[in-house]
């Protein structure tokens, strides 16, 4: 969404969001603090930290990229790579062009540097060596590792999957590639992620809250769940050892071969 903010300048959605929340800077709008009618945008803003980890800037004229706080030259912001110099910067929020004069670096600090700070300054100047601004080009905000640098749901999904090896190893096709009603499939997905709204729902129905609640407890180990499992197992004459978590239970039952007599009962 932040990338689209700079890439789609004349879109109606951008004008609506801008009018409702106001602009924070060239790259994004303000995070709304209104109590009503801003739920969608608040949820989008909560993802900013994760989004920004895969974001970087490409400098053009340097008018909109913060020299110290934005990630534009190396893999991290200069305020992190050269923290001692950041502490004594006269204008910490200054842009790239504000730290240059006639295409030459002119970095100003609040006081004279100590001897031990000159070493860090030399390393900073070595990093900046060879950079030159292009006054005819615009600054850009890019996302991901693709050449285009445009955000997409598919790219974000692949990136999230690569970070979570456990998720990749789990046989999710047991959920999405079976012929079941959509509500059942979505329920399985929700339960396996521990995302069920459990505590409040049970409290409204006067269920016993004697034990700490989790999705494993709710579906496997609470007294009501155990009773339902026992009825099911006795009905079909089955023997089964209760696992510790819901994902193990789901995987074990997905391997169960249902015979024709049980299929008739299910129908």
Q: Rounded to an integer, what distance in angstroms lies between the CA atom of residue 228 and that of residue 231?
A: 5
Residue 1 · residue 31 · CB < 8 Å: no
How confident is the model at residue 109, as a pLDDT? 94
pLDDT at 241: 82
pLDDT at 53: 77
CB atoms within 10 A of CB 93: 11
| Range 237-261 burial, b when 16+ CB lie within 10 A, else e | eeeeeeeeebbebbeeeeeeeeeee
pLDDT value of residue 98: 92
In the chain, domain spans: 55-143, 170-266
Q: What percent of the chain has pLDDT over 90?
A: 16
User: From CA 139, how far away is CA 71, in angstroms rounded?
Assistant: 12
Contact 29, 53 (CB under 8 A): no
**Contact (Cβ atoms closer than 8 angstroms) between residue 109 and residue 89:** yes
CA distances from 94 to 13, 67, 90, 126, 194 (A): 30, 6, 9, 20, 44
- Phi, psi (degrees; rounded to nearest 5) at 141: -110, 120
Give CA separation, 164 vs 111, 156, 168, 228, in Å: 46, 13, 7, 34
Global pTM value: 0.52
- The list of the chain residues with pLDDT below 70 reads 1-10, 13-14, 21-26, 28-39, 145-147, 159-172, 194-195, 197-213, 255-267
Closest by CA to 25, choosing from 85, 61, 70, is 70
Helix axes 182-192, 246-254, angle to 10 degrees: 140
- Cβ–Cβ < 8 Å for 29, 22: yes
């Amino acid at each position: 969404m932040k990338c689209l903010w700079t890439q789609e300048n004349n879109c109606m959605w951008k004008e609506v969001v801008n009018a409702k929340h106001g602009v924070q800077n060239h790259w994004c709008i303000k995070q709304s603090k209104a109590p009503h009618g801003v739920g969608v945008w608040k949820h989008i803003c909560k993802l900013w930290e994760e989004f920004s980890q895969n974001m970087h800037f490409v400098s053009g004229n340097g008018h909109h990229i913060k020299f110290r706080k934005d990630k534009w030259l190396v893999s991290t912001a200069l305020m992190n790579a050269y923290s001692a110099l950041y502490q004594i910067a006269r204008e910490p929020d200054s842009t790239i062009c504000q730290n240059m004069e006639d295409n030459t670096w002119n970095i100003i600090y609040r006081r004279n540097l100590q001897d031990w700070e000159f070493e860090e300054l030399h390393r900073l100047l070595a990093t900046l060596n060879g950079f030159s601004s292009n006054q005819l080009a615009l600054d850009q905000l890019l996302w991901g590792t693709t050449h285009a640098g445009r955000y997409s749901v598919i790219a974000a999904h692949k990136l999230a999957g690569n970070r979570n090896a456990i998720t990749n190893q789990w046989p999710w096709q047991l959920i999405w590639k079976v012929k079941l009603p959509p509500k059942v499939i979505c329920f399985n997905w929700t339960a396996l992620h521990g995302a069920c709204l459990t505590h409040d729902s049970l409290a409204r129905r006067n269920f016993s809250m004697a034990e700490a609640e989790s999705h494993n407890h709710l579906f496997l180990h609470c007294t009501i769940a155990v009773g339902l499992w026992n009825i099911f197992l006795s009905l079909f004459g089955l023997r089964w050892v209760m696992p510790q978590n819901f994902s193990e239970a789901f995987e074990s039952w997905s391997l169960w071969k249902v015979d024709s007599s049980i299929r008739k009962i299910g129908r």
